[in-house]
Amino acid sequence: MLSKQYECPDCGGSEGYRSRRRNLLEKYILPLMMLQPVRCTSCYRRTHVSMFVHVPPRMPKLSAKGHAAA
Ligand SMILES: [Zn+2]
C-alpha cells in the first residue's frame, strides 16, 4: 500500500481534511499531478498533498441527534 500519513508542513499536525477544489487549477491540474487540496485541522493551512496520502473528507456539521443518517 502506498497510503501515507498526512503531515502539515506548517505546524506538523497529522490531521487534515480534504478541501474543496476551488479553481480550474485544482479541478484539472492537481489530479494530473496526483495531488489533492487538504486543509490542516490545527492551523487551517491549505496545502496540496499526494493523492496517496489518506485524508478524510470534511465532516458535515452534525445536526440534531437521533436523526438516522443514511
Ligand atoms: Zn497545520
Instruction: Tell how far the Cα of 66 is from the centroid of ligand 1, in angstroms.
Output: 33
Indicate if the pLDDT at residue 63 is higher than 70.
Answer: no
- The pTM score is 0.76
Which one-letter amino acid corresponds to residue 58? Answer: R
Print the domain residue range for 9. Answer: 4-54
How many domains does the chain fold into? 1
Q: What is the 3-state secondary structure (H, E, C) of the chain?
A: CCCEECCCCCCCCCCEEECCCCCHHHHHHHHHCCEEEEEECCCCCEEEEECCEECCCCCCCCCCCCCCCC
Task: List the shell of residues around ion ligand 1, using CB closer than 5 Å.
Answer: 8, 10-11, 13, 40, 42-43, 45
Residue 27 belongs to a domain: yes
Does the pLDDT of residue 18 top 90, yes or no? yes
Task: Give the chain's mean pLDDT.
Answer: 87
- Establish if 66 belongs to a structural domain: no
Q: What would the pLDDT profile of 31-59 be if each residue is shown by its tens digit?
A: 999 999 999 999 999 999 999 999 998 87
Distance 45 CA to ligand 1 centre (A): 6
